[in-house]
Chain A
Amino acid sequence: MKENVTSTMVFILLLFLNIRLLNGESPPGKPIISKCRSPEKETFTCWWKPGTNGGLPTNYTLTYYKEGENIIYECPDYNTSGPNSCYFNKKYTNLWTIYVIRVNATNNMGSNASDPRFVDVAYIVEPNPPQNISLEVKQPEDRKPYLWIKWFPPALVDITSGWLILQYEVRLKPENAAEWEVHFAGQQTHFKILSLYPGQKYFVQARCKPDHGFWSKWSPVTSIEIPSDINMSDTTMWIFVAILSAVICLVMVWAVALKSYSMMTCIFPPVPGPKIKGFDSHLLERGKTEELLGAFGCQDFPPTSDSEDLLVEFLEVDDSEDQQLMPAFSKEYPGQPVKSRRLDLDNDSGHGSCDSPSFLSEKCEGPWANPPTFHTPEVIKKLENLEANITCTWDPQTKSTKDKILYFHANGFRSSTWPLPQPTQHNPRSPYHSIAEVCKLAEDPRAALATVLHKASKDALKSSKTTETGEEKKAVEQMEVESFTSKTGQDTAWMLPQENASFISAKPLDYVEIHKVNKDGALSLTPKQKESIDQTEKPRTLEIIKEYAKVARVMENNILVLMPDPRAQNIALFEESAKAAPLSFQQNQAEKDMACFPTTPSNFRLQQDR
Chain B
Amino acid sequence: MDSKRQAGSLLLLLLMSNLLLCKNVASEPICPNRSGCQVSLRELFDRAIILSHYIHSLSSEIFQEFDAQYSQGPGFFTQAISMCHTASISTPAGKEQAQQIQQKDFVILVIHLLGSWTKPLSHLITEARRLPKAPDALIAKATEIQEQNQRLLEGLKKIGKLVDPEIIDNGNYAVWLGLPSLQSNDLQSLLFAYHNLFRCLRRDTHKVDNYLKFLKCQIAYDGSC
Contact = CB atoms under 8 A, between A and B. Distances in A.
Contacts of A42: 94-95
A162 B225 contact: yes
A488 B217 CA distance: 120
Interface stretch (B19-27, B117-125, B177-185, B202-210): B202-210
A116 B81 CA distance: 14
Contact of A67 (B56, B81, B98, B218): B81
B1 to A, nearest CB: 58
B85 interface: no
A interface SS class:
loop
A163 B215 CA distance: 9
Contacts of B91: 96
B174 to A, nearest CB: 15
Contacts of A158: 95
Interface string A553-570: 000000000000000000
A122 B225 contact: no
Interface residues of A, number: 25
B31 to A, nearest CB: 18
Interface string B43-74: 00000000001001100100000000000000
B213 A162 contact: yes
Contact of A95 (B53, B56, B78, B93): B93
B28 interface: no
A123 B209 CA distance: 13
A162 B218 CA distance: 8
A90 B96 contact: yes
B112 interface: no
B99 interface: yes
B225 A160 contact: yes
B53 A161 contact: no
Interface string B197-225: 00000010011011001111110010111
B134 interface: no
A297 to B, nearest CB: 82
B83 interface: yes
B19 to A, nearest CB: 34
A162 B209 contact: no
A161 B217 contact: yes
Contact of A212 (B60, B81, B96, B224): B60
B114 to A, nearest CB: 16
Nearest to B216: A162
Given A96-B203, A98-B81, A161 B210 contact: no
Contacts of B216: 162
Per CB-CB distance, the 6 closest pairs between chain A and chain B, nearest first, are A162-B217, A94-B93, A160-B224, A163-B95, A162-B214, A95-B93
Interface of A: 41-42, 67-68, 90, 93-98, 116, 118, 120, 122-123, 158-163, 165, 211-212
